[in-house]
Structure 1
């Protein structure tokens, strides 16, 4: 992967880009900001941990024997337990309590075991799509006048040639049916429903998921077909495939192709089961209470500390390897995947069909809930999007597995709000809702550095969201959760550059989360059009800085001097200046200031310590000083790399040592003040400031030429100046 970004972001990283093996300046490349190496902290993309290993507990249901004793080539052995037929578990069609009313020819009605009806219907010869529909309706008689599998008929009778259709009915469909009828054998324990307000995980083997999906394909799940508001599963997504089979549109045919290809890959033949997948997949519902959410108006974390890689090329599933990949979800998981929908979430669910099983047991998401899905395998490639979507053949998933046999693919489903009127999204309560939703999805309890987030224009298509706003909201959340962000604009180069320019601006002006919150929540009151959001932010921050005495008086040279003097407060940091500096270190410099701080705090923050204060301050006993030192340590390192000539000049002061500080202090002050103000010594007012004298004296030292053998300067523990010879830059 390339290093650096566009030629305009020299302040945040290297400018060099490599694309297709050619090194360039970065201008005109597909991405901006940090390199992917920095996003991954310089590690292998799968090296950082996301979640702990699978362990059964009260909050984690595992449907196979754990730990797994079988070799890697054998699926885990199903856990045996009593089935439950209640409102907190999935009602399986093979349960002895799954019964169905049957009306005889003479009009009499009886109750029969549903599973026996399913077996009887599916074990009969099925030679065409009409017979398949009749078999499914025989155990769904309530819908025999409502269901018409027109899409399935079109695929099998019109789109496929005669030989392909014959292969489906003679080979693939019998394999799907055999797998579905193994449900009592493969799923022997109850599957809990992931209901609202719960934090609970369910882990299933890939073999168990394939069996459950085969039943969904054949529409066997009871009580899951009605859409009435007061029905038992009215707050759950649909799981049976009947709606997909009868939907219209070319994309529906292509989605069915993806599903059929999945079954071709995972369904064993009568004589060979070597193709059965042997991994596992975990589904975790996250639900946070109001007290567990951040107070966005009080968070002082600097936005510039969040590494951002933004690109107009690639996709989350292809280029987001090793990252937490965002599913732009519907609150009913999968959205229109089993209907006519075919955008980001629906496409992800058909190329990774194991995600579809989340629809079986996940209740619709509340505003502070998300679903994390770990280990799903990808089986298909595709081209196009929405109406142009096409199945593009087989995909071999080479992503490694973790210690629990899960693919190291981590997908988080978060649902954005649907804005019928775009101006509503700038309301404070709705901005807060989107921030909280993303926070639930991105938050973690890791003690090690958290992997980055791969996201993009979340909720910005049919849901009417403003991608410029959504990008800022996700940057804010990544800042709070301390995750890097990889942002895909899906071909929109203009948006890529606008977001990158804004992020760089926020970094350079030390804007923190609460500052941006205040700006976003005040935007709607300005009655501006949505496309003016960034201009509004630029204007507000520029006006604030324009009226800030800090920005009027703090020249770049003074900032360098201030950083140098601050470093003296902590002599042990001198060695750190001799270490190679990464681009992330440079990015995090000078981020402790608040542009909206009070004037009193601004004066305190920008004060440069006098010679006496340099000697007297003990960082270990001064918390504020310690914070200042820590925040500026990396600034010193970055300054030394980018402005080495200025630091070389400072050696003159080291050569003069105490003689300059003690013997010539007053004379140097007088000379410099005369040069800067053009006021005669007799008429100039004495400043009486030893601190200012030291600054002026240092300013003069910077104007002299340093020799070839430069030395670094710092203070020893007694407060006296000392010099150390720097190591050669690597």
Structure 2
């Protein structure tokens, strides 16, 4: 693995890529595969008005993790918090099978316990029956064709392991919810700058409930719903369709559950919604362009260890991870499965917001992309933990604009929106030792979103430069893009160009008549107009 570029920063000066002499022709050093050293500058873990901690803090300080406990958690019911399925406010109507007439109101959680507290699930139909028993209003709406197909194509021993052992273990984990998750989990709504820290066991418990579809109150994709601006969290959509994608996703998810029920990880994960309070005056920015490493090989999650890793997010975080989506964001949410829990409490991201996740563990190795995605094996994540017992993995979710007309992306309004979004993600410092780490990113907002790779690369370099971070850029197999972006960056650095000067050139380029078949290439335009900068600045 080699990089084009000069240098970039990560955890301290002793880890990848460090300041080294470059090989001829701008080829950078090989990447180190060692993990970053654990930092020792993390402040004490303490709850604040802007930070909800779902565990007993003293238990973390002592090296153990105990859930935060409160009297009568089942009586809590708030529109500003996740509405837990064990709350006594959540009732459902139960009717006797085969009988008509009015049913009786019973606590939803009592039905969940009755249906999940079993020694085994003999068939997939048993699982389906259990889920529909406490979700009666979705009878005839939810379908389990994909789950049936996945399990029925398995060998007998594999099927027996999942039905006879793994699913009952997952069910017992799900039923621990009233004990493990007593502290109300706030909904991270638009405009909030707030963090939630919870244990990996609490996350596993919440995800087990999502798998068994116990969150029946307010998480729905219906547009008229009060919570339609939140992603769905139940796994019912994933179970619907029989496809290669469904099967590979289920393999990855069962790998996660198999790992945690056998050996529950003892750490914390922090989810922080961040926003910009004021806009940046991009036209007048005097920030110099920082360093760029770029390669057509490798992935953000592998070669970007120790860096601020970008999730090419949907505004509803996780995108199609619980449906048929299977590109960069969905893959990341699958292999770092704890990321899926963000869909439980994160409202749609605004243009000036991002979500930073610190400590999510990786559970699977894979190959391919989209239809070629294949789960390979479980992953042994050896990333060190900080003093809060979080894995030193920092992921930032930023959503790009999707363009129906690709020419719109060059307009100043959209340029400023994408710059603001990228800067929001790159400028927030969550891990003190990681505050100068380079950004590990790639073709953000390209592909189905119709973004121009050259423009999106330049926007991210500008935003990272404004945030005083270097960039490690992965073009995912595109050698042509790698070469073009590298040459453009070299040209800008050689001319000592500022972020503001690039913005003004982009603004000038936006006045191009794109209806002409021979509209000038963006990078050619910039190079041909660099002399324009001398007269203007």
Q: TM-score, normalised by structure 1?
A: 0.67
Retained in 2: the 8 A contact 1:48–1:451? no
Matched, 1:279 2:267: yes
Bigger Rg, structure 1 or 2? 1
Please point out which of 208, 219, 227 is paired with 2:213: 219
The offset of 1:121, in angstroms, is 1.4
Between 1 and 2, higher relative CO (CA 8 Å, sep ≥ 6) is seen in 2
Counterpart mapping for 1:15-164 below 5 A = 15-16=22-23, 25=24, 32=27, 45-46=36-37, 54-69=45-60, 72=63, 74-80=64-70, 83=73, 84-104=76-96, 105-124=99-118, 125-158=120-153, 160-164=154-158
CA contact 2:85–2:214 (8 Å) conserved in 1: yes
Aligned to 1:460: 446
Matched, 1:524 2:519: no
Residue 540 of structure 1 aligns with which residue? 529
SS at match of 2:457: helix
| Per-residue Cα deviation, 1:167-224 (whole angstroms, up to 9, x for no partner) | 1111101100110011111111111110111000000000000001000000000224
CA contact (8 A) 2:67 2:181 kept: no
Q: Distance in 2 between matches of 1:394 and 1:35?
A: 26
Q: How many residues align?
A: 515
Distance 1:47 1:266, change over 3 A: closer
Deviations 1:143-162 (A, max 9, x none): 1101111111011112x111
Superposed, 1:307-386 pairs within 5 Å as 307-386=291-370
Q: Which residue of 1 aligns with 2:424?
A: 440
Relative distance call for 1:46 and 1:440 in structure 2 (3 A) is farther
Contact 1:200 1:284 in 2 (8 A): yes
The 5-angstrom pairing of residues 285-684 of structure 1 reads: 285-289=273-277, 292-303=278-289, 306-444=290-428, 450-528=436-514, 532-541=521-530, 543-544=531-532, 595-597=534-536
Q: Which runs of no fewer than 5 residues in structure 1 stay unpaired?
A: 7-11, 17-24, 269-274, 545-593, 599-730
Determine the C-alpha separation between the residues in 2 that align with 1:222 and 1:428. Answer: 43
Uncovered stretches (5+) of structure 2, i.e. residues with no partner? 7-18
Partners of 2:193 and 2:273 within 8 A in 1 = yes
Determine if contact 2:246/2:324 at 8 Å carries over to the other structure: yes
Residues 33/595 of structure 1: CA separation in 2 closer, same or farther (3 Å cut):
farther
Match of 2:170 in 1: 176
Return 320-329 or 507-516, whichever deviates more.
Answer: 507-516
What does residue 194 of structure 1 align with?
A: 188
- Whole-angstrom CA distance in 2 between matches of 1:596 and 1:396: 56
The whole-number CA distance in structure 2 between the counterparts of 1:336 and 1:530 is 35
For 1:35 and 1:349, locate their aligned partners in 2 and report how far apart those are by CA, in whole Å: 28
3-state DSSP of counterpart to 1:192:
coil
Q: Deviations over 1:322-355 (max 9, x none)?
A: 1100000000010000000000000001111100
What secondary structure does 1:496 align onto?
helix
- 8 Å Cα contact 1:89/1:192 also seen in 2: yes
1:354–1:145 CA distance, 2 compared to 1 (3 A)? same
1:229-248 map, 5 Å: 229-248=223-242
Deviations 1:611-647 (A, max 9, x none): xxxxxxxxxxxxxxxxxxxxxxxxxxxxxxxxxxxxx
Question: CA 1:277–1:197 in 2, change beyond 3 Å: closer, same or farther?
Answer: same
Q: Using the alignment, how far apart are the partners of 2:400 and 2:37 within structure 1? A: 28
Go from structure 1 to structure 2 and tell me whether the alpha carbon gap of 1:82 and 1:519 turns closer, same or farther (over 3 Å shift): farther
Q: Structure 1 5/226 Cα, relative in aligned 2: closer, same or farther at 3 Å?
A: closer
Is 1:82–1:190's contact at 8 Å kept on the other side of the alignment?
A: no
Q: Return the offset for 1:3.
A: 8.4
Determine helix, strand or coil for the equivalent of 2:283.
coil
Whether the aligned pair in 1 keeps the contact of 2:31 and 2:303 (CA below 8 Å) is no
Query: CA separation in 1, counterparts of 2:328 and 2:148?
Result: 26
Q: Which has the higher helix share?
A: 1
TM-score, reference length from structure 2: 0.91
Question: Is the CA contact 1:418–1:459 (under 8 Å) kept in the aligned structure 2?
Answer: yes
Superposition deviation, residue 509 in structure 1: 1.1
